[in-house]
């Protein structure tokens, strides 16, 4: 029985039932009783059943579950992800495109009768706090209990979501998912931005099937944001509380492997903690930003949980993330320590468990298994490298008191960053919003020898949004510039950071992790006008005396700090040449409409470097 009187929702669900032909339909109300019943059903399936979830050690991991996806279904699939706008030019050069009519014609036969013998679950959910003017509603239909249970963690799921929609609005995102046969040849994750619609088929893996996440919260939402005057960004949100000062909030966007989650859940160094500094996590992955009544930019985290990579997460690398997984979490494609039925992954502890179940389900001797080499000469791993945890944000020890604030939090600074061994200083500030937009468009990371066979090859990832922009990247940059005009002098200040600069011997020069607090401190002081800066050809850089090195004098000498803050003119001329090549060859030549203002920034920096 439907949970809403909204005729738009009910009509669409009836259409999906007619297409997929499930044996039964269950509307998800979000109640504990209903969820407990689904957990009992899915954990009672026989071993080896592809849908089965397992209960973990109730004393050590209360309420936690474990799941294995099929070996051919373990990650997002960019080559099978499409933006189906009516005009190809509106998808732009960073997206796969197909005409919506063609795609609907291609996919409809795959969904026809796909849920015969199965149950369809209708999931109403809110992206953002219930009652928030910044929130949006989605309805996902799926044949997967795994999806239902994960969506319960990642969104505000259930009857309450319809409070945000009401009885007449048609402003909801329609999500259709079926795990079908998990056939990789017919695996598609498709966004129809003009139809507010997402269709996903033949995957049972998180990022492809939790349609509120990247599909809605970034690809569809970025398109909505352009049309409605706000921003949907691949950004963390954190609050910095200092003694005697108001909490200041920042957003930050980094490509993968650049310390995003660590910054979101940063633990300040001891010297800062003793003075009363605290960091609060509002979000670790996605930010929706809208101008508030006072003209400032406010952000909410549209998600209610964390969907984090497990390998590499431990008490030392990210205490707060690990603590978030200790109850009511779901683990996917990790290993099991059979001695106590707990999850395990590489670097969780120094040694793998002796009695282990590896991620595909085989029982093995952990140390012996990990000593073996695969076909590429790399050691086997018990957990899949992209294994995940889905954890409620409320579990996080440093979750912000403002996490559920319907009005969001005011943003003082936006930070971009990438992994660069040279060229980019530790931190610098843009001259203005237009220059800051350029800095975002120039976000890139260098590949490593292990990954590509060549060191220093740039992988461009504008605003860390390359796989997630739901329309033409050039129009996306133009929208950033429009937002700057709307915000005017109340716009957040924009900065770029680089924790990964190396010395001549190839060693990292900056300690990173909690010590990134020192850079964050300078950024906030700049926003408040409490410290000056040196104006350089590329932007405003800190004066050396304004970066607090107390407690790390043995790690960062004054000479090293000077090197970290150095602007190498020759390297920057190469950087500008590379950005011209990127704009012209990778974007403009392939249909990206680059705003003239960004070329203007390139010209200005180049002129500065030639002075």
Give the confidence band of 450 by pLDDT, cuts at 50, 70, 90: very low
Give the confidence band of 448 by pLDDT, cuts at 50, 70, 90: low
Q: How far apart are CA 524 and CA 313, in angstroms?
A: 28
CA atoms within 13 A on the CB side of 9: 27
* 233-305+401-566 belongs to CATH 3.40.50.1820: no
- Provide the pairing of β-strand 53-55 with 305-309: unpaired
Task: State the pTM of this model.
Answer: 0.97
Six token digits for residue 558: 């004054």
Q: What is the mean pLDDT of residues 96-114?
A: 98
Q: How far apart are CA 345 and CA 496, in angstroms?
A: 32
Report domain extents, the chain. Answer: 7-45+77-229, 233-305+401-566, 306-393
**Which value, in Å, is the radius of gyration of the alpha carbons in the chain?**
24
Q: Per-residue pLDDT tens for 128-144?
A: 999 999 999 999 999 99
Question: The domain at 306-393 falls in which architecture?
Answer: Beta Complex (2.170)
The chain-wide mean pLDDT, for the chain, equals: 96
Six token digits for residue 317: 């690398």
Predicted local confidence at residue 454, as pLDDT:
58
The burial of 4, by beta-carbon neighbours within 10 Å (0-12 exposed, 13-18 middle, 19 or more buried), is given as buried
Q: Per-residue pLDDT tens for 106-130?
A: 999 999 999 999 999 999 999 999 9
Beta bridge partners of 513: none
Give the CATH H-level superfamily of domain 7-45+77-229: Phosphoenolpyruvate Carboxykinase, domain 1 (3.40.449.10)
Which one of 258, 370, 396, 398 is the catalytic residue? 258
Q: How far apart are CA 380 and CA 378, in angstroms?
A: 6
Q: How far apart are CA 261 and CA 6, in angstroms?
A: 38
Annotated active-site residue 251? The verdict is no
Q: Per-residue pLDDT tens for 212-253?
A: 999 999 999 999 999 999 999 999 999 999 999 999 999 999
CA distances from 531 to 107, 218, 253, 547 (A): 57, 35, 24, 10
Q: Per-residue pLDDT tens for 368-410?
A: 999 999 998 999 999 999 999 999 999 999 999 999 999 999 9
Q: Is the pLDDT of residue 449 over 50?
A: no
Q: Per-residue pLDDT tens for 20-68?
A: 999 999 999 999 999 999 999 999 999 989 999 999 999 999 999 999 9
Task: Answer whether 266's CB lies under 8 Å from 462's CB.
Answer: no
Nearest in space to 320 (alpha carbons), one of 396, 409, 216, 217: 396
């Amino acid at each position: 029985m439907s949970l809403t009187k909204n005729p738009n929702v009910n009509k669409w669900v009836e259409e999906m039932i007619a297409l997929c032909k499930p044996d039964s339909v269950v509307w998800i109300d979000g109640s504990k009783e209903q969820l407990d019943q689904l957990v009992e059903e899915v954990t009672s399936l026989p071993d080896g059943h592809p849908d089965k979830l397992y209960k973990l050690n109730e004393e050590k991991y209360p309420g936690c579950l474990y799941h294995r996806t099929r070996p051919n279904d373990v990650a997002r699939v960019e080559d099978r992800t499409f933006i189906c706008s009516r005009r190809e030019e509106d998808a732009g050069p960073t997206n796969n495109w197909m005409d919506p009519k063609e795609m609907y014609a291609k996919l409809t036969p795959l969904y026809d009768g796909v849920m015969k013998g199965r149950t369809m679950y209708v999931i109403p959910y809110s992206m953002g706090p219930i009652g928030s003017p910044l929130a949006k509603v989605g309805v996902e239909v799926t044949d997967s209990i795994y999806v239902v249970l994960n969506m319960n963690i990642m969104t505000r799921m259930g009857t309450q979501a319809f409070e945000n929609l009401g009885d007449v609005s048609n402003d909801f995102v329609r999500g259709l998912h079926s795990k079908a046969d998990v056939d990789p040849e017919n695996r598609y994750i498709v966004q129809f931005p003009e139809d507010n619609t997402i269709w996903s088929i033949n995957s049972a893996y998180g990022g492809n099937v939790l349609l509120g996440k990247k599909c809605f919260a970034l690809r569809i939402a970025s398109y909505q944001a352009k049309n409605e005057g706000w921003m949907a960004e691949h950004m963390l949100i954190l609050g910095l509380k200092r003694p005697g000062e108001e909490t200041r909030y920042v957003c930050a966007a980094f490509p993968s492997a650049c310390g995003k989650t660590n910054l979101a859940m940063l633990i300040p160094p001891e010297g800062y903690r003793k003075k009363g500094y605290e960091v609060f996590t509002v979000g670790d992955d996605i930010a929706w930003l809208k101008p508030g009544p006072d003209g400032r930019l406010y952000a909410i985290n549209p998600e209610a949980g964390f969907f984090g990579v497990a390998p590499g997460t431990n008490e030392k690398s990210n205490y707060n993330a690990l603590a978030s997984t200790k109850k009511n979490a779901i683990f996917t494609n990790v290993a099991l320590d059979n001695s106590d039925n707990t999850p395990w992954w590489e670097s969780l502890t120094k040694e793998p468990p002796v009695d282990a179940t590896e991620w595909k389900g085989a029982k093995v001797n952990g140390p012996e298994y990990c000593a073996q080499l695969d076909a590429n000469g790399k050691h086997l791993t018990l957990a899949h490298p992209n294994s995940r945890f889905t954890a409620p944000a409320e579990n996080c020890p440093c979750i912000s008191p403002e996490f559920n604030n319907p009005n969001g939090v005011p943003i003082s600074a936006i930070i971009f960053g990438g992994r660069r061994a040279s060229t980019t200083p530790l931190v610098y500030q843009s001259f203005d919003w237009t220059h800051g937009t350029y800095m975002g468009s120039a976000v890139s990371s260098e590949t490593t020898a292990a990954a590509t066979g060549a060191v220093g090859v740039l992988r461009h990832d504008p605003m860390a949004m390359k796989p997630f922009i739901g329309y033409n990247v050039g129009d996306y940059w133009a929208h950033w510039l429009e937002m700057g005009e709307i915000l005017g002098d109340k716009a957040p200040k924009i900065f770029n950071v680089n924790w990964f600069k190396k010395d001549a011997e190839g060693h990292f020069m900056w300690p990173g992790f909690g010590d990134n607090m020192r850079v964050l401190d300078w950024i906030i002081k700049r926003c408040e006008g409490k410290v000056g800066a040196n104006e350089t050809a590329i932007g405003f850089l800190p004066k050396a005396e304004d970066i607090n090195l107390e407690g790390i004098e043995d790690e960062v000498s004054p000479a090293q700090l000077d090197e970290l803050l150095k602007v190498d003119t020759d390297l920057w001329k190469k950087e500008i040449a590379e950005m011209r090549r990127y704009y012209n060859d990778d974007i403009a030549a392939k249909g990206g409409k680059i705003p003239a203002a960004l070329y203007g920034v390139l010209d200005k920096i180049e002129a500065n470097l030639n002075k």
